[in-house]
Structure 1
Amino acid sequence: MKGIDLSIPAGKLVVLKGRSGSGKTTLINLLGALDRPTEGKIAFAGRDVTAMSDGERDKLRRQEIGLVFQSFALFPLMSAYENVEFVLRISASAKEDRKAAAIQALEQVGLKPRMHHRPFELSGGEQQRTAIARAIAHKPRLLLADEPTAELDSKTGLHIIKLFRDLVEQHGLSIVMTTHDPAIMEIVDHIYELEDGQIVSQV
Protein backbone atom coordinates (compact mmCIF):
# COMPACT_ATOMS: atom_id res chain seq x y z
CA MET A 1 0.00 0.00 0.00
CA LYS A 2 1.31 3.45 -0.93
CA GLY A 3 -0.29 6.75 -0.01
CA ILE A 4 -3.78 5.36 0.61
CA ASP A 5 -6.18 8.06 1.82
CA LEU A 6 -9.58 6.42 1.99
CA SER A 7 -12.78 7.04 3.92
CA ILE A 8 -15.53 4.42 3.79
CA PRO A 9 -18.95 6.11 4.06
CA ALA A 10 -21.59 4.56 6.30
CA GLY A 11 -24.45 2.71 4.64
CA LYS A 12 -22.81 2.35 1.23
CA LEU A 13 -21.68 -0.51 -1.02
CA VAL A 14 -18.06 0.09 -2.00
CA VAL A 15 -16.00 -1.92 -4.49
CA LEU A 16 -12.22 -2.26 -4.68
CA LYS A 17 -11.21 -3.37 -8.15
CA GLY A 18 -7.91 -4.10 -9.84
CA ARG A 19 -5.80 -6.87 -11.29
CA SER A 20 -4.35 -9.67 -9.18
CA GLY A 21 -1.50 -8.26 -7.12
CA SER A 22 -2.88 -4.71 -7.15
CA GLY A 23 -3.37 -4.68 -3.37
CA LYS A 24 -7.10 -5.31 -3.01
CA THR A 25 -6.84 -8.17 -0.52
CA THR A 26 -4.12 -6.41 1.46
CA LEU A 27 -6.36 -3.37 1.82
CA ILE A 28 -9.32 -5.53 2.89
CA ASN A 29 -7.11 -7.21 5.52
CA LEU A 30 -6.00 -3.83 6.83
CA LEU A 31 -9.56 -2.52 6.99
CA GLY A 32 -10.61 -5.67 8.85
CA ALA A 33 -7.82 -5.34 11.44
CA LEU A 34 -6.36 -8.65 10.25
CA ASP A 35 -3.06 -7.00 9.32
CA ARG A 36 -1.21 -4.04 10.82
CA PRO A 37 0.19 -1.28 8.59
CA THR A 38 3.91 -0.57 8.96
CA GLU A 39 3.11 3.13 8.66
CA GLY A 40 0.01 5.30 8.78
CA LYS A 41 -3.22 5.09 10.72
CA ILE A 42 -6.52 3.23 10.41
CA ALA A 43 -9.55 4.53 12.29
CA PHE A 44 -12.84 2.73 12.83
CA ALA A 45 -15.77 4.80 14.12
CA GLY A 46 -13.35 7.31 15.62
CA ARG A 47 -11.08 4.71 17.25
CA ASP A 48 -7.45 4.23 16.27
CA VAL A 49 -7.24 0.58 15.22
CA THR A 50 -3.47 0.76 14.73
CA ALA A 51 -3.04 1.56 18.44
CA MET A 52 -5.15 -1.39 19.59
CA SER A 53 -3.73 -4.54 21.17
CA ASP A 54 -4.26 -7.90 19.46
CA GLY A 55 -7.05 -8.65 21.93
CA GLU A 56 -8.80 -5.36 21.24
CA ARG A 57 -8.57 -5.95 17.49
CA ASP A 58 -10.03 -9.45 17.93
CA LYS A 59 -12.91 -7.98 19.94
CA LEU A 60 -13.50 -5.33 17.26
CA ARG A 61 -13.80 -8.03 14.57
CA ARG A 62 -16.05 -10.24 16.70
CA GLN A 63 -18.45 -7.43 17.53
CA GLU A 64 -18.41 -4.85 14.73
CA ILE A 65 -16.94 -6.35 11.56
CA GLY A 66 -18.20 -9.21 9.39
CA LEU A 67 -15.87 -11.08 7.02
CA VAL A 68 -16.78 -13.04 3.87
CA PHE A 69 -14.13 -14.81 1.82
CA GLN A 70 -13.83 -16.31 -1.65
CA SER A 71 -13.89 -19.82 -0.20
CA PHE A 72 -17.03 -20.29 1.86
CA ALA A 73 -15.08 -21.77 4.82
CA LEU A 74 -18.11 -23.51 6.33
CA PHE A 75 -17.84 -26.34 8.83
CA PRO A 76 -18.80 -29.38 6.70
CA LEU A 77 -20.44 -31.41 9.48
CA MET A 78 -22.57 -28.52 10.74
CA SER A 79 -25.89 -27.40 9.27
CA ALA A 80 -26.28 -23.86 7.92
CA TYR A 81 -27.93 -22.90 11.21
CA GLU A 82 -25.14 -24.46 13.29
CA ASN A 83 -22.48 -22.68 11.23
CA VAL A 84 -24.10 -19.33 11.98
CA GLU A 85 -24.88 -20.06 15.63
CA PHE A 86 -21.33 -21.27 16.29
CA VAL A 87 -19.85 -17.90 15.30
CA LEU A 88 -22.33 -16.14 17.57
CA ARG A 89 -21.04 -18.30 20.38
CA ILE A 90 -17.50 -17.15 19.65
CA SER A 91 -18.64 -13.52 19.62
CA ALA A 92 -19.92 -14.02 23.18
CA SER A 93 -23.56 -13.41 22.31
CA ALA A 94 -25.96 -14.33 25.10
CA LYS A 95 -27.19 -17.92 24.82
CA GLU A 96 -30.85 -16.91 24.81
CA ASP A 97 -30.23 -14.51 21.90
CA ARG A 98 -28.17 -16.78 19.66
CA LYS A 99 -30.97 -18.89 18.18
CA ALA A 100 -33.11 -15.90 17.21
CA ALA A 101 -30.11 -14.02 15.78
CA ALA A 102 -28.97 -17.02 13.71
CA ILE A 103 -32.46 -17.63 12.29
CA GLN A 104 -32.92 -13.93 11.55
CA ALA A 105 -29.60 -13.79 9.64
CA LEU A 106 -30.51 -16.86 7.59
CA GLU A 107 -33.92 -15.36 6.88
CA GLN A 108 -32.25 -12.14 5.68
CA VAL A 109 -30.29 -14.09 3.06
CA GLY A 110 -33.30 -16.21 2.07
CA LEU A 111 -32.05 -19.46 3.57
CA LYS A 112 -34.39 -20.10 6.49
CA PRO A 113 -36.09 -23.03 4.67
CA ARG A 114 -32.66 -24.65 4.13
CA MET A 115 -31.12 -23.90 7.51
CA HIS A 116 -30.94 -27.54 8.64
CA HIS A 117 -29.00 -28.64 5.53
CA ARG A 118 -25.25 -29.23 5.65
CA PRO A 119 -22.92 -27.50 3.18
CA PHE A 120 -22.66 -30.52 0.84
CA GLU A 121 -26.46 -30.41 0.49
CA LEU A 122 -26.39 -26.74 -0.56
CA SER A 123 -25.53 -25.15 -3.90
CA GLY A 124 -22.54 -22.84 -4.22
CA GLY A 125 -24.79 -19.79 -4.00
CA GLU A 126 -26.53 -21.17 -0.91
CA GLN A 127 -23.18 -21.88 0.74
CA GLN A 128 -22.05 -18.31 0.10
CA ARG A 129 -25.34 -16.98 1.47
CA THR A 130 -24.74 -19.10 4.58
CA ALA A 131 -21.29 -17.51 4.88
CA ILE A 132 -22.89 -14.07 4.56
CA ALA A 133 -25.51 -14.94 7.21
CA ARG A 134 -22.67 -16.00 9.50
CA ALA A 135 -20.91 -12.68 8.87
CA ILE A 136 -23.96 -10.51 9.61
CA ALA A 137 -25.58 -12.47 12.46
CA HIS A 138 -23.85 -10.40 15.15
CA LYS A 139 -25.11 -7.21 13.42
CA PRO A 140 -21.75 -5.69 12.47
CA ARG A 141 -21.36 -2.10 11.31
CA LEU A 142 -19.03 -3.11 8.47
CA LEU A 143 -19.01 -6.14 6.17
CA LEU A 144 -15.80 -6.93 4.25
CA ALA A 145 -16.01 -9.39 1.36
CA ASP A 146 -12.95 -10.56 -0.57
CA GLU A 147 -13.97 -11.82 -4.04
CA PRO A 148 -17.28 -13.21 -2.71
CA THR A 149 -18.53 -14.15 -6.19
CA ALA A 150 -15.33 -15.64 -7.62
CA GLU A 151 -16.41 -19.26 -7.08
CA LEU A 152 -19.93 -18.68 -8.44
CA ASP A 153 -21.42 -18.50 -11.93
CA SER A 154 -22.35 -15.02 -13.15
CA LYS A 155 -26.09 -15.35 -12.45
CA THR A 156 -25.55 -16.58 -8.88
CA GLY A 157 -22.87 -13.94 -8.36
CA LEU A 158 -25.32 -11.23 -9.34
CA HIS A 159 -27.82 -12.58 -6.79
CA ILE A 160 -25.16 -12.23 -4.09
CA ILE A 161 -24.47 -8.60 -5.05
CA LYS A 162 -28.20 -7.83 -5.05
CA LEU A 163 -28.32 -9.34 -1.56
CA PHE A 164 -25.50 -6.97 -0.54
CA ARG A 165 -27.49 -4.08 -2.05
CA ASP A 166 -30.51 -5.07 0.06
CA LEU A 167 -28.39 -5.31 3.23
CA VAL A 168 -27.11 -1.79 2.60
CA GLU A 169 -30.50 -0.25 1.80
CA GLN A 170 -32.67 -2.09 4.33
CA HIS A 171 -30.27 -2.48 7.26
CA GLY A 172 -27.81 0.38 6.81
CA LEU A 173 -24.82 -1.94 6.63
CA SER A 174 -21.56 -0.62 5.16
CA ILE A 175 -20.00 -3.11 2.74
CA VAL A 176 -16.56 -3.11 1.12
CA MET A 177 -15.87 -5.86 -1.39
CA THR A 178 -13.22 -6.76 -3.93
CA THR A 179 -14.15 -8.05 -7.37
CA HIS A 180 -13.06 -8.48 -10.98
CA ASP A 181 -16.65 -8.70 -12.26
CA PRO A 182 -17.56 -5.72 -14.50
CA ALA A 183 -21.31 -6.55 -14.33
CA ILE A 184 -21.32 -5.69 -10.63
CA MET A 185 -20.03 -2.14 -11.07
CA GLU A 186 -23.39 -0.68 -12.11
CA ILE A 187 -25.17 -1.46 -8.82
CA VAL A 188 -22.58 -0.24 -6.32
CA ASP A 189 -22.18 3.23 -4.77
CA HIS A 190 -18.43 3.81 -5.02
CA ILE A 191 -15.61 2.17 -6.97
CA TYR A 192 -11.91 2.48 -6.13
CA GLU A 193 -9.40 1.08 -8.61
CA LEU A 194 -6.07 -0.11 -7.27
CA GLU A 195 -2.81 -0.57 -9.11
CA ASP A 196 0.53 -1.47 -7.50
CA GLY A 197 -0.80 -0.70 -4.04
CA GLN A 198 -2.20 2.71 -4.93
CA ILE A 199 -5.67 4.05 -5.61
CA VAL A 200 -5.46 5.25 -9.21
CA SER A 201 -9.11 6.21 -9.78
CA GLN A 202 -12.41 6.50 -7.94
CA VAL A 203 -16.02 6.83 -9.04
Structure 2
Amino acid sequence: MTTAERSLIEKPLVRAEGIAKTFGHGAGSVQVLRGASLTIQPQSLVAIRGRSGSGKTTLINILGALDRPTEGKVHFKGTEIGGLTEYRRNKLRRTDIGLIFQSFALVPMMSAFENVEFGLRIAGIAPDFHREYAERALELVGLKGRMKHRPFEMSGGEQQRVAIARAIAHKPSLILSDEPTAELDSKMGLQVMKVFMDLVKYEGLTVVLTTHDAAIMEIVDHVYALEDGRIAEER
Protein backbone atom coordinates (compact mmCIF):
# COMPACT_ATOMS: atom_id res chain seq x y z
CA MET A 1 0.00 0.00 0.00
CA THR A 2 1.38 3.40 -0.96
CA THR A 3 1.64 6.32 1.47
CA ALA A 4 -1.13 8.12 -0.44
CA GLU A 5 -3.44 5.09 -0.23
CA ARG A 6 -2.76 4.67 3.50
CA SER A 7 -3.48 8.37 4.06
CA LEU A 8 -6.87 8.07 2.33
CA ILE A 9 -7.84 5.09 4.48
CA GLU A 10 -6.72 6.70 7.74
CA LYS A 11 -8.60 9.94 7.03
CA PRO A 12 -12.20 9.76 8.37
CA LEU A 13 -14.87 9.23 5.75
CA VAL A 14 -17.50 10.86 7.98
CA ARG A 15 -17.04 13.14 10.97
CA ALA A 16 -20.08 14.45 12.85
CA GLU A 17 -19.53 17.14 15.46
CA GLY A 18 -22.08 18.28 18.05
CA ILE A 19 -25.14 17.24 16.06
CA ALA A 20 -28.38 18.55 17.53
CA LYS A 21 -31.80 18.26 15.96
CA THR A 22 -35.05 19.86 17.13
CA PHE A 23 -38.42 19.30 15.47
CA GLY A 24 -41.11 21.93 15.77
CA HIS A 25 -41.00 25.34 17.43
CA GLY A 26 -41.76 26.89 20.80
CA ALA A 27 -43.53 24.93 23.52
CA GLY A 28 -44.32 22.09 21.14
CA SER A 29 -40.73 21.51 20.00
CA VAL A 30 -38.99 18.17 20.54
CA GLN A 31 -35.21 17.87 20.75
CA VAL A 32 -34.18 14.47 19.39
CA LEU A 33 -30.40 14.89 19.18
CA ARG A 34 -28.42 16.83 21.77
CA GLY A 35 -24.84 17.15 20.57
CA ALA A 36 -23.98 13.73 19.11
CA SER A 37 -20.45 13.35 17.75
CA LEU A 38 -18.88 10.39 15.98
CA THR A 39 -16.19 9.49 13.48
CA ILE A 40 -16.54 6.85 10.75
CA GLN A 41 -13.36 5.45 9.23
CA PRO A 42 -13.28 4.16 5.64
CA GLN A 43 -13.74 0.45 5.00
CA SER A 44 -15.43 -0.23 8.33
CA LEU A 45 -18.69 -1.76 9.55
CA VAL A 46 -20.24 0.46 12.22
CA ALA A 47 -23.36 -0.02 14.35
CA ILE A 48 -25.34 2.69 16.13
CA ARG A 49 -27.42 1.17 18.91
CA GLY A 50 -30.07 2.66 21.13
CA ARG A 51 -33.64 2.29 22.31
CA SER A 52 -36.60 3.39 20.22
CA GLY A 53 -36.79 7.18 20.32
CA SER A 54 -33.10 7.61 21.09
CA GLY A 55 -32.52 9.44 17.79
CA LYS A 56 -30.89 6.69 15.69
CA THR A 57 -33.01 7.22 12.57
CA THR A 58 -32.68 11.00 12.81
CA LEU A 59 -28.89 10.67 13.04
CA ILE A 60 -28.76 8.31 10.04
CA ASN A 61 -30.88 10.75 8.01
CA ILE A 62 -28.50 13.59 8.85
CA LEU A 63 -25.40 11.54 8.01
CA GLY A 64 -27.02 10.64 4.69
CA ALA A 65 -27.86 14.25 3.76
CA LEU A 66 -31.60 13.51 3.95
CA ASP A 67 -31.98 16.07 6.72
CA ARG A 68 -30.02 18.99 8.14
CA PRO A 69 -28.98 19.34 11.79
CA THR A 70 -30.32 22.22 13.86
CA GLU A 71 -26.80 22.59 15.24
CA GLY A 72 -23.46 20.97 14.52
CA LYS A 73 -21.67 19.86 11.37
CA VAL A 74 -21.26 16.71 9.31
CA HIS A 75 -18.16 16.34 7.14
CA PHE A 76 -18.22 13.75 4.36
CA LYS A 77 -14.85 13.21 2.66
CA GLY A 78 -13.76 16.50 4.18
CA THR A 79 -16.74 18.52 2.87
CA GLU A 80 -19.28 19.97 5.29
CA ILE A 81 -22.56 18.75 3.82
CA GLY A 82 -25.03 20.73 5.93
CA GLY A 83 -24.30 23.90 4.01
CA LEU A 84 -24.61 22.37 0.56
CA THR A 85 -27.46 23.38 -1.73
CA GLU A 86 -30.33 20.92 -2.08
CA TYR A 87 -29.13 20.12 -5.61
CA ARG A 88 -25.65 19.17 -4.37
CA ARG A 89 -27.08 17.16 -1.48
CA ASN A 90 -29.29 15.22 -3.90
CA LYS A 91 -26.32 14.63 -6.18
CA LEU A 92 -24.25 13.39 -3.23
CA ARG A 93 -26.92 10.83 -2.33
CA ARG A 94 -27.22 9.69 -5.94
CA THR A 95 -23.48 9.25 -6.48
CA ASP A 96 -21.63 8.54 -3.24
CA ILE A 97 -24.14 7.36 -0.61
CA GLY A 98 -26.34 4.26 -0.68
CA LEU A 99 -29.48 4.15 1.50
CA ILE A 100 -31.19 0.95 2.67
CA PHE A 101 -34.59 1.13 4.33
CA GLN A 102 -36.13 -1.24 6.88
CA SER A 103 -39.18 -1.77 4.67
CA PHE A 104 -37.03 -2.79 1.64
CA ALA A 105 -38.95 -0.26 -0.53
CA LEU A 106 -38.87 -2.47 -3.63
CA VAL A 107 -41.27 -1.94 -6.53
CA PRO A 108 -43.57 -5.00 -6.30
CA MET A 109 -44.09 -5.62 -10.01
CA MET A 110 -40.44 -5.19 -10.96
CA SER A 111 -37.97 -8.08 -10.96
CA ALA A 112 -34.86 -7.95 -8.77
CA PHE A 113 -32.85 -6.83 -11.80
CA GLU A 114 -35.40 -4.15 -12.70
CA ASN A 115 -35.45 -2.81 -9.12
CA VAL A 116 -31.67 -2.44 -9.14
CA GLU A 117 -31.63 -0.99 -12.65
CA PHE A 118 -34.31 1.52 -11.64
CA GLY A 119 -31.99 2.73 -8.89
CA LEU A 120 -29.23 3.22 -11.45
CA ARG A 121 -31.55 5.34 -13.58
CA ILE A 122 -32.34 7.54 -10.59
CA ALA A 123 -28.62 7.83 -9.85
CA GLY A 124 -28.00 9.11 -13.38
CA ILE A 125 -25.72 6.24 -14.42
CA ALA A 126 -25.30 6.04 -18.20
CA PRO A 127 -27.68 3.39 -19.69
CA ASP A 128 -24.79 1.53 -21.31
CA PHE A 129 -23.61 0.49 -17.86
CA HIS A 130 -26.96 -0.50 -16.35
CA ARG A 131 -26.84 -4.24 -17.10
CA GLU A 132 -23.21 -4.61 -16.06
CA TYR A 133 -23.67 -2.68 -12.80
CA ALA A 134 -26.99 -4.31 -11.86
CA GLU A 135 -25.78 -7.86 -12.51
CA ARG A 136 -22.55 -7.19 -10.61
CA ALA A 137 -24.46 -5.81 -7.60
CA LEU A 138 -26.83 -8.80 -7.55
CA GLU A 139 -23.88 -11.15 -7.83
CA LEU A 140 -22.21 -9.49 -4.84
CA VAL A 141 -25.27 -10.17 -2.66
CA GLY A 142 -25.62 -13.74 -3.95
CA LEU A 143 -28.73 -13.21 -6.06
CA LYS A 144 -27.56 -13.23 -9.67
CA GLY A 145 -29.48 -16.47 -10.19
CA ARG A 146 -32.68 -14.89 -8.84
CA MET A 147 -32.58 -11.58 -10.69
CA LYS A 148 -35.71 -12.34 -12.76
CA HIS A 149 -37.80 -12.98 -9.64
CA ARG A 150 -40.19 -10.36 -8.26
CA PRO A 151 -40.29 -9.42 -4.57
CA PHE A 152 -43.35 -11.57 -3.79
CA GLU A 153 -41.44 -14.59 -5.10
CA MET A 154 -38.57 -14.02 -2.68
CA SER A 155 -37.99 -14.45 1.05
CA GLY A 156 -37.59 -11.45 3.35
CA GLY A 157 -33.83 -11.98 3.45
CA GLU A 158 -33.65 -12.09 -0.34
CA GLN A 159 -35.71 -8.91 -0.62
CA GLN A 160 -33.34 -7.16 1.77
CA ARG A 161 -30.40 -8.33 -0.31
CA VAL A 162 -32.05 -6.88 -3.42
CA ALA A 163 -32.36 -3.59 -1.52
CA ILE A 164 -28.66 -3.81 -0.68
CA ALA A 165 -27.81 -4.52 -4.33
CA ARG A 166 -29.80 -1.44 -5.37
CA ALA A 167 -27.92 0.66 -2.80
CA ILE A 168 -24.46 -0.49 -3.94
CA ALA A 169 -25.01 -0.70 -7.71
CA HIS A 170 -23.89 2.88 -8.40
CA LYS A 171 -20.67 2.19 -6.44
CA PRO A 172 -21.01 4.60 -3.49
CA SER A 173 -18.43 5.02 -0.75
CA LEU A 174 -20.90 4.92 2.14
CA ILE A 175 -23.89 2.66 2.85
CA LEU A 176 -26.39 3.76 5.51
CA SER A 177 -28.99 1.29 6.73
CA ASP A 178 -31.70 1.84 9.34
CA GLU A 179 -32.53 -1.41 11.21
CA PRO A 180 -31.75 -3.67 8.20
CA THR A 181 -32.52 -6.92 10.05
CA ALA A 182 -35.49 -5.80 12.17
CA GLU A 183 -38.07 -7.56 9.98
CA LEU A 184 -35.99 -10.74 9.52
CA ASP A 185 -35.53 -13.88 11.59
CA SER A 186 -32.09 -14.50 13.10
CA LYS A 187 -30.89 -16.78 10.26
CA MET A 188 -31.84 -14.33 7.53
CA GLY A 189 -30.48 -11.45 9.59
CA LEU A 190 -27.07 -13.11 9.79
CA GLN A 191 -27.14 -13.70 6.02
CA VAL A 192 -27.67 -9.98 5.49
CA MET A 193 -24.86 -9.14 7.91
CA LYS A 194 -22.55 -11.53 6.04
CA VAL A 195 -23.27 -9.52 2.89
CA PHE A 196 -22.34 -6.29 4.67
CA MET A 197 -19.13 -7.82 6.05
CA ASP A 198 -18.10 -9.03 2.59
CA LEU A 199 -18.82 -5.63 1.04
CA VAL A 200 -16.53 -3.99 3.58
CA LYS A 201 -13.79 -6.63 3.34
CA TYR A 202 -13.72 -7.26 -0.40
CA GLU A 203 -15.26 -4.15 -1.98
CA GLY A 204 -13.85 -1.50 0.36
CA LEU A 205 -17.24 -0.01 1.24
CA THR A 206 -18.13 1.63 4.54
CA VAL A 207 -21.38 0.50 6.15
CA VAL A 208 -23.18 2.27 9.00
CA LEU A 209 -26.33 0.67 10.39
CA THR A 210 -28.68 1.10 13.32
CA THR A 211 -29.70 -1.93 15.35
CA HIS A 212 -31.18 -3.34 18.56
CA ASP A 213 -29.65 -6.77 17.92
CA ALA A 214 -26.93 -7.73 20.42
CA ALA A 215 -25.59 -10.43 18.06
CA ILE A 216 -24.87 -7.84 15.38
CA MET A 217 -22.92 -5.69 17.81
CA GLU A 218 -20.53 -8.60 18.36
CA ILE A 219 -19.46 -8.79 14.71
CA VAL A 220 -19.13 -5.14 13.66
CA ASP A 221 -15.91 -3.13 13.79
CA HIS A 222 -17.25 -0.31 15.93
CA VAL A 223 -20.34 0.39 18.05
CA TYR A 224 -21.76 3.76 19.09
CA ALA A 225 -24.43 3.80 21.80
CA LEU A 226 -26.96 6.62 21.48
CA GLU A 227 -28.84 7.61 24.64
CA ASP A 228 -31.08 10.65 25.03
CA GLY A 229 -29.72 12.16 21.85
CA ARG A 230 -26.04 11.86 22.77
CA ILE A 231 -23.31 9.33 22.08
CA ALA A 232 -23.02 7.79 25.53
CA GLU A 233 -20.62 4.93 24.83
CA GLU A 234 -18.46 3.52 22.06
CA ARG A 235 -16.22 0.58 21.46
When the two structures are superposed, what TM-score results if normalisation uses the length of structure 2?
A: 0.85
Work out which of the residue numbers 174, 182, 196 in structure 2 matches 1:142: 174
Aligned partner of residue 224 in structure 2, secondary structure: strand
Matched residue, 2:17: none
> How many residues are matched?
203
Deviation at 1:169, TM superposition (A): 0.4
One-letter amino acid of the structure 2 residue matched with residue 125 of structure 1: G
Q: Does 1:184 align with 2:216?
A: yes
Task: Please give the alpha-carbon distance, in whole angstroms, between the structure 1 residues aligned to 2:37 and 2:167.
Answer: 26
Matched residue, 1:123: 155
Task: Please give the alpha-carbon distance, in whole angstroms, between the structure 2 residues aligned to 1:151 and 1:198.
Answer: 26
Q: Does 1:112 align with 2:138?
A: no
Matched residue, 1:36: 68
Gaps of at least 5 residues in structure 1 are: none
Runs (4 or more) in structure 1 with deviation over 6 Å come to none
Deviation at 1:58, TM superposition (A): 0.4
Report the aligned-residue RMSD: 0.6
Task: Please give the alpha-carbon distance, in whole angstroms, between the structure 1 residues aligned to 2:122 and 2:192.
Answer: 25
Q: Does 1:21 align with 2:53?
A: yes
Deviation at 1:185, TM superposition (A): 1.3
One-letter amino acid of the structure 2 residue matched with residue 84 of structure 1: V
Deviation at 1:6, TM superposition (A): 1.1
Matched residue, 2:43: 11
One-letter amino acid of the structure 1 residue matched with residue 65 of structure 2: A
Deviations 1:63-116 (A, max 9, x none): 000001110110001000000001101111111111100000000000000000
Deviation at 1:196, TM superposition (A): 0.8
Deviation at 1:40, TM superposition (A): 1.2
Matched residue, 1:85: 117
Task: Please give the alpha-carbon distance, in whole angstroms, between the structure 2 residues aligned to 1:21 and 1:4.
Answer: 14
Q: Percent identity?
A: 64
Deviation at 1:4, TM superposition (A): 1.7
Gaps of at least 5 residues in structure 2 are: 1-32
If asked which structure has higher relative contact order (CA below 8 Å, sep 6+), I would say: 1
Aligned partner of residue 42 in structure 1, secondary structure: strand
Work out which of the residue numbers 189, 193, 213 in structure 2 matches 1:157: 189
Q: Does 1:170 align with 2:206?
A: no
Task: Please give the alpha-carbon distance, in whole angstroms, between the structure 1 residues aligned to 2:38 and 2:88.
Answer: 23
Aligned partner of residue 55 in structure 1, secondary structure: helix
When the two structures are superposed, what TM-score results if normalisation uses the length of structure 1?
A: 0.99
Task: Please give the alpha-carbon distance, in whole angstroms, between the structure 2 residues aligned to 1:194 and 1:153.
Answer: 24
Select the structure that is richer in strand: 2
Aligned partner of residue 166 in structure 2, secondary structure: helix
Aligned partner of residue 175 in structure 2, secondary structure: strand
